[in-house]
Structure 1
């Protein structure tokens, strides 16, 4: 009853707070003449209105054409308005199309903007790198609405990325539009599908069934005031529904089949969490990527974000992949600030705050003992000294940020009157964080039950990321494959195990197993794989491996990491980049995260070429001087010596059980020896003295 009364009070208070902010904005504050800044300077000049001959006002919709310059000294020295015609100091100098953005923030005189970069013809969109951020075309100027500390969004986006999740990249800047100084802004990325942003691929517009229908999507729980149509609603525990809206594909492009499919994923999440079903076979772990949900809740609960869960809450799903939470978004009403009520408190869970609680599955997840254990474990990990959410790290990050923007904050106050005491605002935020973290520590529960998880000994042992093309096999992407090996001594149940890093997607089917010492392959195109190698792959992954570098993560159903390899096409990694070779782990005893543990192989005998301990084979001495001796209990077929880059230094055929290898011509260092026999292959790391 008390919570219901508070909710009604919040709703009545909103009108008061909105009116108060509008009154502040209505005051005539001073114009500011900007001559120079320690921050980048963004200058936007809209095209003239053909009727009035004056620069056009920027509307809510549609975007209008304009020119933009970004003054930025790459060496970190000061930026001057006088530099706007010096090419070497212009980070960008070209065309854009720009519009207003935001919902409640549009009530303020200081507006927020969304814009797209264009070629000079104003027709062709243009990908550009701005202020060191990856190349793209869609950007945002965040006006820091309602936030007198100026740092809430910036702090939380950066902490999220430091936690290992994608969040929009950010750069503070000062903005001038049509000659009018508009104050301090954050230039940041717009949430969209892109390999450097939300790394999913947009769904094929013709996808109506099967695997093509499974992704990619970006969906959000949000207000419908932006004009986008409602996709569906989901019940919440506070008595009113949460609205869901399509972001990708665009609402006008979503087909009924696509809408029904992505809606079904949220329904599956709702039903499994409501039933308290934590089975990796058919419970919520089979539907969602748990680490992204945990991290999303942690950053929003840490910041006590009043908008989380109900609005400004994004989800994404790649083809063949699980539903994922994020990217985290919109933290201007957090860390003790709530201009429409009093909900950002240090001693309440935001998924149960009596107002913006969101769909039921958030509360149901937290109330599931297994999920809450992982939530608690992750919180404990992130708050340790040296980790992103340790107070000492946050304290230093805040101080460094304030030092960077303190000069511009004076001009922000002069222009808008919204930063009366930056030092006091920062003091309030730090005190809030201390109190909030202490409360979460006391109320988050134990993580003992999930602190020592036994993981299967699965190893990513072969990677064919950029196969060479031929007349018989003309498409490189169709020939990609991964080999996964059971390096343990018992059969492994593969149920729930999946590739968790965005880029490629695969989840093992329920009931699949892999015997001790055995390997399996998953391929991009099973038909091509079988035609080339004479063996059928176990399964098919979605999308394609990067030809440059990619992080591959094999995880269990709860996201516990089993194996990680981040390969690269540059040295010291062996040359398997379109050369006709693939990466092969030299031995299961080696650390596969190290480039030196891999060799470049050209063998097409995938069905018979397997790892084997060959326990009867002896290699000595090691470390070695000049001569290395190999003695085996079976006939040796071939011996090869590789350097740490995977280059074959010598290869010799044998038909005997012993061999002598001359290493005298090689310099001191690490080498790999590969011994092939009838029963398999033995690879050892050799240290040359």
Structure 2
């Protein structure tokens, strides 16, 4: 009789333990059917470089400014073996390396990420030459990501996060676990472990976000109002970043940071489009920030700037997942034509669901824009109302636990077949194993995720109606034109502090309908290219094209090819230095058709190497270091003082003993 593997032995609730045991035994019975180690229940993805191999960690990056050599694009053929439907039916067919392929696709691929670029398990971005559905359950498209969980030993954190956001009715990348091989230069297949195949966030398809296209024919403010998409992330080499005006509004609610443009593509933008986006009277971000600064006593105008429902869903999702990077990194927004700004889709959850922030408090509090939104009565009411709606259905404890177990089951069956190394076991890079960093038992990893999400949900159940408050204007100086309370349109109404339910369930608190993707044939019309002037001709703006930031060479400027400066706002031109010539002040060695997409990759918790964390981390480090030194000095001084007192006390005792011996009859006598 088969013995349950050690990796499955740990305390579990009885029903779950029984389910695990049954699933494993069923899996063992199938394994016994002469199936070898190169057959898998999960889909198999094989990347075969066509002419040159993927770069290695020993590659040499050119002198900055330059893209990291590890991100070099490689032509590949992608072979897929996927004989099972996306539901992963119980009676599946094995996907064997020697078996027939269900798809072969010509593609380019490159390693992606920031700190993860040099993890032992690489992340990859792939772009197919022709649209295709790589695996069952995905609509045909070109852009995908092969996410290799490394610090996430459960391998399901990103999978769970995207399912949660899709459950709200909004778009989030579809995902499926696969096993991945890369063919080496000798033609041998090298096993890289379990990956999560994801749709890449794109905007030109109704199967993904789907935004109205901007073309040179778009001339009016209404036409230029969408579609746009951007994210908050570090300004790496090759990203395209609008030169926003750093006025008091942007500094307070945008933290003075430039966004990374995600749509349209850089080489599709005209000067007219760029000027519209950064102009403080027309740009969606400047207009929102100005309203948050000046307009909070006109609460019903907020809906002119943001889609309340999408911001509510994004905030609830960020809080439930306890995503360490929420609100500051890999934070996406988009604006379709004639519509307000939407928050989302969501991305990057390696440091979430118990692997990062675990504080019993709201994660949004340090972020001024999101904290400001809670001064709005509709936003606060919808937070509570929408949360309860989701918890009563798609985000219930039962739904959460069922999805987690369904996601873990095929992984558990595979790892039962893993013959790993003695040191890492199921987590090693041997066939059928996970290839992850954590070594603790797989079921412990899954249980940690389950506990993290359900415990956080219970905390939110108890606290989601407690965001009503008397608003303190002090932290908002100089943007202090605020209502007294966030109960109702009348900012002087304090009733929600005693009866929040009446305000949450008020008739005017209605969740807006969920936006639907815009077809790509929604155009501004046709324009004769011969009639276009310079302002309507697509071009690459050196004031937007990032040269990156480099600790090793601080003389390189972030824009103007690293050799100049641009003023903020519309119509900016480079002022060159080092004898370089305008308009570009040099050139960057980059293909604008394959510019860096602003990879939203998290750091390992001990690294803290992105720009915002460096600013916060360096200040905190210096404060802690200074405090530590002072504490050490105080401890040393205190110890020295105690030693002096001890020596003095001992000296006094010795003197008293000497006096007692010299005057035994009189020493110590009283009147």
TM-score by length of 1: 0.55
Question: Secondary structure, in 3 states, of the residue corresponding to 2:208?
Answer: coil
Among 260, 263, 281, the residue aligned to 1:245 = 260
Question: Secondary structure, in 3 states, of the residue corresponding to 1:299?
Answer: helix
Q: Give per-residue Cα distances to partners, 1:256-288, cap 9 Å, x unaligned.
A: 43234344211222222334537576x211111
- Which runs of 5 or more residues in structure 2 are unaligned? 1-35, 57-68, 184-188, 421-425, 430-434, 466-499, 526-671
1:160 aligns with 2:165: yes
Shift of the 260–309 alpha-carbon distance from structure 1 to 2, 3 Å rule, reads: farther
Question: Secondary structure, in 3 states, of the residue corresponding to 1:137?
Answer: strand
Among 318, 328, 352, the residue aligned to 1:310 = 328
1:144 aligns with 2:149: yes
Shift of the 74–442 alpha-carbon distance from structure 1 to 2, 3 Å rule, reads: closer
Partner of 2:382: 374
Partner of 1:37: 40
**Aligned partners of 1:431 and 1:306: how far apart in 2?**
17
Partner of 1:490: none
**Aligned partners of 2:49 and 2:524: how far apart in 1?**
50
Shift of the 42–127 alpha-carbon distance from structure 1 to 2, 3 Å rule, reads: closer
Residues 85-484 of structure 1 aligned to structure 2 (within 5 Å)? 86=100, 90-118=101-129, 125-128=130-133, 130-178=135-183, 179-193=189-203, 194-225=205-236, 227-232=238-243, 241-263=256-278, 264-275=283-294, 277=296, 279=298, 283-338=301-356, 344-353=357-366, 357=367, 360-384=368-392, 387-409=393-415, 410=418, 413-415=427-429, 416=435, 418-420=437-439, 421-445=441-465, 446=500, 448-453=502-507
**Aligned partners of 2:325 and 2:350: how far apart in 1?**
9
TM-score by length of 2: 0.56
Checking the alignment, whether the CA contact within 8 Å between 1:68 and 1:94 is kept in structure 2 is yes
Shift of the 215–286 alpha-carbon distance from structure 1 to 2, 3 Å rule, reads: same
Report which stretch shifted further, 177-186 or 56-65.
Answer: 56-65
Residues 670-685 of structure 1 aligned to structure 2 (within 5 Å)? none
**Aligned partners of 2:306 and 2:312: how far apart in 1?**
11
Shift of the 163–130 alpha-carbon distance from structure 1 to 2, 3 Å rule, reads: same
Shift of the 220–369 alpha-carbon distance from structure 1 to 2, 3 Å rule, reads: same
For residue 190 of structure 1, report the CA deviation from its aligned partner. 0.6
For residue 444 of structure 1, report the CA deviation from its aligned partner. 2.0
Q: Give per-residue Cα distances to partners, 1:227-284, cap 9 Å, x unaligned.
A: 3143246757699544411011124543443234344211222222334537576x21
Shift of the 168–239 alpha-carbon distance from structure 1 to 2, 3 Å rule, reads: closer
For residue 326 of structure 1, report the CA deviation from its aligned partner. 0.6
Checking the alignment, whether the CA contact within 8 Å between 2:43 and 2:95 is kept in structure 1 is no
Question: Secondary structure, in 3 states, of the residue corresponding to 2:141?
Answer: coil
Q: Give per-residue Cα distances to partners, 1:361-391, cap 9 Å, x unaligned.
A: 211112323211111110111112xx12111
Figure out how many residues of one structure are paired with residues of the other and give that number. Answer: 410
Checking the alignment, whether the CA contact within 8 Å between 2:335 and 2:341 is kept in structure 1 is yes
Q: Give per-residue Cα distances to partners, 1:510-548, cap 9 Å, x unaligned.
A: xxxxxxxxxxxxx9999xxxxxxxxxxxxxxxxxxxxxx
Residues 17-28 of structure 1 aligned to structure 2 (within 5 Å)? none
Question: Secondary structure, in 3 states, of the residue corresponding to 1:308?
Answer: coil
Question: Secondary structure, in 3 states, of the residue corresponding to 1:414?
Answer: coil
Shift of the 267–524 alpha-carbon distance from structure 1 to 2, 3 Å rule, reads: closer
Question: Secondary structure, in 3 states, of the residue corresponding to 1:429?
Answer: helix
Partner of 1:645: none
For residue 150 of structure 1, report the CA deviation from its aligned partner. 1.0
Question: Secondary structure, in 3 states, of the residue corresponding to 1:350?
Answer: coil
Checking the alignment, whether the CA contact within 8 Å between 1:41 and 1:79 is kept in structure 2 is no
Shift of the 38–497 alpha-carbon distance from structure 1 to 2, 3 Å rule, reads: closer
Partner of 1:70: 80
Q: Which has the higher contact order (CA 8 A, sep 6+)?
A: 2
Checking the alignment, whether the CA contact within 8 Å between 1:289 and 1:322 is kept in structure 2 is yes
**Aligned partners of 1:37 and 1:198: how far apart in 2?**
32
Checking the alignment, whether the CA contact within 8 Å between 2:215 and 2:268 is kept in structure 1 is no
Report which of the two has the higher share of strand: 1
**Aligned partners of 1:289 and 1:149: how far apart in 2?**
34
**Aligned partners of 1:80 and 1:175: how far apart in 2?**
12
Shift of the 336–241 alpha-carbon distance from structure 1 to 2, 3 Å rule, reads: farther
Question: Secondary structure, in 3 states, of the residue corresponding to 2:77?
Answer: strand
Partner of 2:575: none
**Aligned partners of 2:501 and 2:102: how far apart in 1?**
48
Shift of the 447–107 alpha-carbon distance from structure 1 to 2, 3 Å rule, reads: farther
**Aligned partners of 2:124 and 2:70: how far apart in 1?**
9
Shift of the 254–363 alpha-carbon distance from structure 1 to 2, 3 Å rule, reads: farther
For residue 128 of structure 1, report the CA deviation from its aligned partner. 4.0
Checking the alignment, whether the CA contact within 8 Å between 1:374 and 1:447 is kept in structure 2 is no
Q: Give per-residue Cα distances to partners, 1:327-374, cap 9 Å, x unaligned.
A: 011111111213xxxxx1241222225xxx3xx321111232321111
Checking the alignment, whether the CA contact within 8 Å between 1:269 and 1:361 is kept in structure 2 is no
**Aligned partners of 2:233 and 2:202: how far apart in 1?**
16
Please give the root-mean-square deviation of Cα atoms over the aligned residues, in Å. Answer: 3.2
Question: Secondary structure, in 3 states, of the residue corresponding to 2:406?
Answer: helix
